[in-house]
Amino acid sequence: MDLMEYDQFIIAINFACITILVLLAGILLAATRFKGENGYAAAIIVIPNVPVYLYNMSRMLGWHEFTVFMFPIGFSVNTMLMPLLWLFTLKNFKVGFRFRYIQLLHFLPAIVCALLCFTMPMQEIVDSILYEMKGDDSWIGDVNTIIITIQLVTYFPAIFRFLYRRKKEIYETSSNAEWIQKGWIWQFMLLFAALFVTVMVSYAIWPRTDAWLIQILNVIAMSFLVYNTIAHPVISPQLEQKVVEESTDNNNVTQNLTDEQMREICEKASSYLLTTKAFLQPDIRIALFAKQIDIPQRNLSRAINTYLNRNFFEFINEMRVEEAKRKLVELDAKGYNIDSIYSECGFRSRSTFFMVFKKITGKTPAIWLNDNQN
């Protein structure tokens, strides 16, 4: 591939990626109606990426005035990606999260890069652009790369540490499939980390890959982000927070429980759930449930974990799956279809219902129904 063909290849890749990313952001916002963390997801898709690709494309096309205009933008917005990923994680998993002015400090590197670019003489900007077109980085490019590298080794460990801790909390206290609902975010961060490593290694081998490889890998990651954000509805943890705040100190005292006491607690919990059908409530949490049956939350959690060898998360979902089985065998008589019963069984989405059902029974609802009909 000669130089001209390579330049055309870069232009085509950047144009295609810009189009796809803008389309993905539009689909995301239209499908989710701008709710909750979806604004952060759309920002992740567009802000750190599209301006950089526009800069790359205009540079190759010889749009000199536009390239000079995009120069400070391109060398600043890409430092916003990691802060946006961090805020997206907090928005999804931190109860009562609100964006505050202090969090603008996360975007200080972007401001620094922009100021450095704006203070550069015009001739130096032009020289830097020409230098980059030869496949090498100017000093501002080196500064930008150093900042991004520091962000990678700072934000990714913080994100994974936060997700690990939150996963444990959700796994111990959630009654619905909240981690299954949002576990894809962990996978998304792992995917992003792997893609970044690929990009950094490729850049070290051949610097010009920053003009096309990053774009392709970003489209892959953003497609994963959009699909899962739409496929997994938002679960609000506000009810649990309210109940926890209202709980008294005595309700959180952990006692040394005997096997007999744990058995009695589990029987009381099961009886209440089966009698009231409370397990069909999508928002039921262990804090609320413990208060309803007048058992300290930690005692309830310990009894279920130790005596039943499962957590509250699994305890509730097993009852929901049993309810789903009952409804499935009534499909012909009642007019149900497999896709319509999940909400009646306490699940928030079809995908969660299918994942939980298969995890517990080892079969999909359709296969289970077919086996039982036969």
Q: Give residue-wise pLDDT tens across range 284-325.
A: 878 888 888 999 988 998 899 889 988 888 889 899 999 999
What are the distances in angstroms from CA 357 to CA 9, 186, 331, 365?
47, 22, 17, 7
pLDDT of residue 233: 57
The whole model's pTM is what?
0.69
Q: Is the pLDDT of residue 245 over 70?
A: no
pLDDT tens, 164-217? 888 766 655 554 455 666 778 888 999 989 988 898 888 788 877 777 888 899
* Whether the Cβ atoms of residue 201 and residue 2 lie closer than 8 Å to each other: no
- As given in the structure block, the two tokens for residue 202 are 């490729």
* Whether the Cβ atoms of residue 308 and residue 266 lie closer than 8 Å to each other: yes
pLDDT of residue 29: 82
- As given in the structure block, the two tokens for residue 181 are 């609902």
pLDDT band at 338 (very low <50, low <70, confident <90, very high): confident
CB neighbour list of residue 178: distance below 8 Å, 6 or more residues apart: 170, 235, 237
pLDDT band at 22 (very low <50, low <70, confident <90, very high): very high
Instruction: Say how far apart CA 61 and CA 14 lie, in whole Å.
Output: 11
pLDDT of residue 242: 41
* DSSP code per residue over 251-286: GG------HHHHHHHHHHHHHHHHHHTGGG-TT-BH
Average pLDDT of the chain? 83
pLDDT of residue 248: 42
Overall size of the chain counted in residues: 374
Q: How far is CA 286 from its chain centroid?
A: 24
Nearest partner of 207 among 145, 148, 156, 147, judged by Cα: 145
* Whether the Cβ atoms of residue 316 and residue 310 lie closer than 8 Å to each other: no
pLDDT of residue 102: 93
What mean pLDDT comes out for the span 17-42? Answer: 81
Widest CA span in the chain:
82
